[in-house]
């Protein structure tokens, strides 16, 4: 059963307003549906648009931040739990440990790196979490197209398409999470390296 959702998202304050609005809608719906939220711990960007509204709607909020970023003075002070890590790798590991599912909102290189690692972990059966891309304004269209090309050209097997879900709206993402049933997955050479 999914209890805690980890979000990966941009920390930029210079995006089109629609990205902040959609992140806020997601945060509100997550809280209304009783999920806990695990996020990067800052009060910046669409990660904060989501987390701030989530907390305003009485959600249980957990922040995870590397010491280096915390020293910049960007951490949110309203988290119910807040963890400091020595670096980015430790931050990802802690967020992974604390969450049952992942939603990647639009983001930059950090978001891309975070969600890519979670997909690989699922591919290799280290987790069986729901992984969702929230495709606000078609933000992830080109990435999904590239991922399809990776699969079509046999750089990953066909079953890799089942590792993640592309949601077009926050409501779509929540409905997917509520219905998510982990597949029975086996790790062996034949499964991993088949076409």
Per residue in 149-194, pLDDT (tens digit) is 999 999 999 989 999 999 999 999 999 999 999 988 777 777 677 7
pLDDT confidence tier of residue 195, bands split at 50, 70 and 90: low
Q: pLDDT tens-digit profile of 53-75?
A: 999 999 999 999 999 999 999 99
Please name every residue paired with 131 in a beta bridge, in sequence order, or none if there are none. 102
Which residue in 134, 126, 191, 115 sits closest to 160, CA to CA?
191
Question: How many structural domains compose the chain?
Answer: 1
User: Which strand ranges, in their side-by-side order, compose the sheet holding 101-104?
Assistant: 81-85, 61-66, 36-39, 4-8, 101-104, 130-134, 165-167
State the average pLDDT over residues 108-113. Answer: 97
pLDDT of residue 184: 81
- List the CATH number of the domain containing 18: 3.40.50.450
pLDDT of residue 12: 97
In a domain, 152, yes or no: no
Q: pLDDT tens-digit profile of 23-61?
A: 999 999 999 999 999 999 999 999 999 999 999 999 999
Domain extent, residue 78, equals: 4-140+159-184
In a domain, 146, yes or no: no
């Amino acid at each position: 059963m999914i209890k805690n959702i980890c979000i990966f998202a941009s920390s930029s304050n210079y995006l089109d307003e629609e990205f902040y609005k959609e992140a806020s809608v997601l945060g509100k719906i997550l809280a209304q549906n009783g999920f806990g939220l695990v996020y990067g711990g800052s009060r910046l960007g669409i990660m904060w648009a989501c987390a701030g509204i989530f907390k305003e709607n009485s959600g249980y909020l957990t922040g995870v931040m590397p010491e280096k970023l915390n020293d910049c003075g960007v951490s949110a002070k309203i988290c119910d739990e807040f963890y400091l890590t020595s670096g980015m790798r430790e931050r990802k590991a802690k967020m992974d440990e604390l969450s049952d599912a992942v939603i990647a909102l639009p983001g930059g290189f950090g978001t891309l790196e975070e969600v890519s690692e979670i997909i690989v972990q699922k591919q290799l059966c280290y987790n069986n979490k729901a992984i969702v891309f929230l495709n606000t304004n078609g933000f992830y269209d080109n990435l999904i197209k590239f991922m399809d090309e990776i699969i079509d050209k046999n750089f990953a097997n066909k079953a890799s398409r089942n590792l993640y879900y592309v949601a077009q709206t926050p409501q779509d993402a929540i409905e997917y999470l509520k219905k998510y049933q982990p597949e029975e997955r086996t790790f062996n050479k034949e499964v991993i390296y088949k076409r």
